[in-house]
Amino acid sequence: MRTFDLTPLYRSTVGFDRMFDLLDAAGKTDSGGYPPYNIERLDENDYRITLAVAGFAEEDLDVELRENTLTITGERSDADANRSFLYQGIAGRSFERRFQLAEHVKVSGASLVNGLLNIELQREIPETKKPRKISINGAAAGNVKVLKDADAA
């Protein structure tokens, strides 16, 4: 049994709802491995998600980003309904795949090449979150200020 009850934490915390939802979703297993996918780190700030979507055309696929959740859905048209297969080994069923993105990760593009859907992601850290150098003003610089104590006056 791998479930955790987060109810006691909801009673004593404010503003952590999203984090608790992520923990809750992480505990649930994904329903199936279709379509297979890769997640690549191209460099420090660039990533790529590649899904194997053989048999799907661009109009059959939908990529949507909503509140840091990337959702990829695929739904084939009923063109195969009139066909009679002796053996069908190529999966062409509809799917929905979700990825939780970090706060500053943005989707920069998507392409469908040779049956692989590539979704390019880029982490854009705001200036306020980037590390910055703080200059040190020493006593030799002559910028030392003496503060007077209010009680001593």
Residue 102 CB contacts under 8 Å (≥ 6 apart), including other chains: 68, 123
pLDDT at 113: 95
Is 63 within 8 Å of 70 (Cβ atoms)?
Answer: yes
Q: Please name the residues in contact with 124: beta carbons below 8 A apart, sequence gap of 6 or more.
A: 45, 104, 105, 106
Q: Is the pLDDT of residue 132 over 80?
A: yes
Q: Is the pLDDT of residue 37 over 80?
A: yes
User: Does 18 or 38 have the greater pLDDT score?
Assistant: 38
Task: Give the residue extent of every domain in the chain.
Answer: 1-30, 35-80+89-127
Q: What is the pLDDT of residues 71-121, one digit of tens each?
A: 999 998 766 667 788 888 877 788 999 999 988 899 999 999 999 999 999
pLDDT of 32: 67
Can the peptide bond before residue 126 be classed as cis, meaning omega within 30 degrees of 0? no
The third-level CATH classification (topology) of the domain covering 35-80+89-127 is: Immunoglobulin-like (2.60.40)
Smallest CA-to-CA distance from 52 within 40, 37, 62 is with 37
